[in-house]
Amino acid sequence: MLHRDIVILNKILSEISISIQFMENITNDEFMSNELLKRAVGMTAINIGELVKNLSYDLREKYTNVPWKQISGFRDIAAHKYGTLNMNDVYITVKQDFPDLKFRIEKILENDQ
């Protein structure tokens, strides 16, 4: 694995951990009523998508079990159509998808180092 990919994957893990920490014990109603939290978590989603776009093609092709394209697509929606972004989707993504993504990336780093 390229050193650059290792650095990026670790940055993605950091962003995921931040979002999970922000959302710990937060209900959907609490999330929806907290503008600061919505913006912070939305920004971490944007950061993750941007980082994914910088991973090497070889890494993304090797690990097709990770939905790289959907992650970067979510970033595009969050960044360019923020006003129409469904924040319920952001909540679900962080609560349900981020823990699985974190696990998959940790496995990539374990297996390829």
Look at the block and give the residue holding tokens 């995921």: 16
Assigned CATH topology for domain 3-112: Four Helix Bundle (Hemerythrin (Met), subunit A) (1.20.120)
88: left (phi over 0), alpha (psi -120 to 50) or beta: alpha
- Give whichever of 24-33, 65-74, 79-88 has the largest mean pLDDT: 24-33
For residue 50, what pLDDT is reported? Answer: 92
The confidence band for 83, taking pLDDT boundaries of 50, 70 and 90, is: low
The rounded distance, in Å, linking the Cα atoms of 22 and 82 is 20
Catalytic residue among 3, 4, 75, 104: 75
Over residues 81-110, the mean pLDDT reads 88
Is 60 an active-site residue? no
Give the Cα separation of 81 and 99 in Å (integer): 25
Catalytic option among 3, 4, 60, 80 = 80
> What ranges do the domains of the chain cover?
3-112
pLDDT the model gives residue 81: 64
Whole-number Å distance between alpha carbons of 92 and 112: 30
Q: Is the pLDDT of residue 80 over 70?
A: no
User: What is the predicted pLDDT for the residue at 99?
Assistant: 96
Q: 11-52: per-residue pLDDT in tens?
A: 999 999 999 999 999 999 999 999 999 999 988 998 999 999
pLDDT at 105: 97
Question: What is the token pair recorded at 37?
Answer: 């939290």
- DSSP letter at 24 equals T
pLDDT at 5 over 90: yes
- CA gap 4, 55 in Å, rounded: 8
Give yes or no: 104 in active site.
no
